[in-house]
Amino acid sequence: MKNQADIKKIIPLRLNRSELAVPGSRPEIFEKAAASKSDAIFLDLEDSVAVEKKNKARENTLDAIRNINWKNKTLSVRVNPMDTIFFKKDIEKLIGFNNQKLDLIMLPKVNSEKDVMKLEKIVNRLENLYKVKKKIGFELIIETAQGLINVNKIASSSNRIESLHFGAADFAASIGAKTMSIGGTHNDYGTLNSISGKKKRNFFLNDIWQVALFNIVVAAKANGLRAIDCPYGDFNDNEGFKALAKSSYSLGFDGKMLIHPKQIELSNKIFSPTKKELNDAKEMLKIIKKSAKSGKGAIAINGKLLDIVTIKQAKNIVELNNKILLKKND
């Protein structure tokens, strides 16, 4: 396995706060998506496209990669899963007709590192065959019970991997969780506090995705990858979206897949450092620099001791902000 520093050199720095899903079967909304403020777009050939429209959606998508101006957005295509009759043709066409505009292939329902190695082999062969200069990167969706069990091996299985994504809807189906809305919570997943006299008992809702999210973010970050949270299907529920997005931002996620353009601005805002976070981080780095010069060891700010990890976190915040500024100036 490569160490984190080596891998970071290979993976391009990309903003990934918002990644809008655009069904390949709906070319009428491509231009609008290209003009949006989403950091990344994925044109979808998988679950938002009905089986009888798969071939047409692929044609639309190839056409859109070549002919639409995607500006400074990261462009990805979600292909059909490996065990479908559409998968091979999806990859062949995408690599064969790539005119250097496609950045990433998103592979859904990844079950093990073998899936990634198989994809890599196919892509290597096609890129050689077509003499493609720009190497394509991979985004992998962890959304099956098998995928979650194997997530650590998956995360280090190819140098092309840029990010791990969580797919809550498929994951729920895979383990038999009883959620009905994409990426939402379940009001029965919780517990009561213990009986104490006649006091009314309180119900505490638990986060049904906690374990999956935690494992995914750890596997991603251990390998220098971005971690992207699942879509939130109820696009009229801004409060629900915000709560879950803030929760994954605070855990270390870099962004969310989005199901509706309404969610773009919210996501960009939540996955950007706040003014206070940025000022605190800058202040911290300034003080640390000063104390290093004067040869002081451990230092405290506002009554809290700083260690190497806090410094790293401060650097991450400043680095993320620099990426956002670069995008604004593009």
> Candidates 116-124, 127-135, 162-170, 242-250 — which segment interacts with ligand GLV by CB under 6 A?
162-170
Spatial contact of 242 and 192, defined as CB atoms under 8 Å apart: no
Which does residue 19 bind out of Mg ion, ligand GLV, none, counting CB within 5 to 8 angstroms by kind?
none
Among residues 23, 24, 167, 224, the one that binds ligand GLV under rule CB under 6 A: 167
d(CA 166, CA 131): 33
Per-residue x/- track, 226-255, ligand GLV (CB under 6 A):
----xx------------------------
Q: Looking at 164-172, 228-236, 250-258, 301-309, which segment touches Mg ion (CB under 5 A)?
A: 164-172
Q: What are phi and psi of 106, to 5 degrees?
A: -100, 120
Q: Is 295 exposed, middle or buried (0-12, 13-18, 19+ CB in 10 A)?
A: exposed
What are the tokens at 88? Answer: 């091979």
The single residue among 102, 169, 244, 259 that binds ligand GLV, judged by CB under 6 A, is 169
Alpha helices in the chain (DSSP H): 4-10, 30-35, 54-67, 87-96, 113-129, 145-149, 151-155, 168-175, 210-222, 238-251, 264-270, 275-293, 308-329
* Burial label, 188 (beta-carbon count in 10 A; 0-12, 13-18, 19+): exposed
| Residue placing its CB nearer to ligand GLV in the complex, 24 or 108 | 108
Angle, CA 152 vertex, CA 147 and CA 153 arms, to 5°: 85
Among 137, 147, 167, 224, binds Mg ion (CB under 5 A): 167
- Residue 143 within binding range of ligand GLV, rule CB under 6 A: yes
Question: Tokens 């220098």 sit at which residue?
Answer: 224
Least Å distance between CB 212 and ligand GLV?
11
CB atoms within 10 A of CB 319: 12
Smallest separation (angstroms) from Mg ion to the CB of 186: 18
The interface partner of residue 116, options being Mg ion, ligand GLV, none and the CB cut-off 5 to 8 Å by kind, is: none
* Closest distance to ligand GLV from the beta carbon of 233 (Å): 8
Whether the Cβ atoms of residue 306 and residue 312 lie closer than 8 Å to each other: no
Is residue 141 within the footprint of ligand GLV (CB under 6 A)? yes
Contact with Mg ion (CB under 5 A): which of 103, 170, 229, 254? 170
The answer to whether 42 and 94 have CB atoms below 8 angstroms apart is no
Q: Which residue is nearest to ligand GLV (CB)?
A: 167
Q: Residue 233's binding partner, choosing from Mg ion, ligand GLV, none, with beta-carbon cut-off 5 to 8 A by kind? A: none
Give burial (CB, 10 Å; 0-12/13-18/19+) of 255. buried
Q: Which does 182 bind (CB under 5 to 8 A by kind): ligand GLV, Mg ion, none?
A: ligand GLV
182 counts as binding ligand GLV under rule CB under 6 A: yes
Q: Select the binding partner of residue 213 from ligand GLV, Mg ion, none (C-beta < 5 to 8 A, by kind).
A: none
The residues that touch ligand GLV, with contacts defined as CB under 6 A, are: 108, 141, 143, 167-170, 182, 230-231
Interface with Mg ion (CB under 5 A)? 143, 167, 170
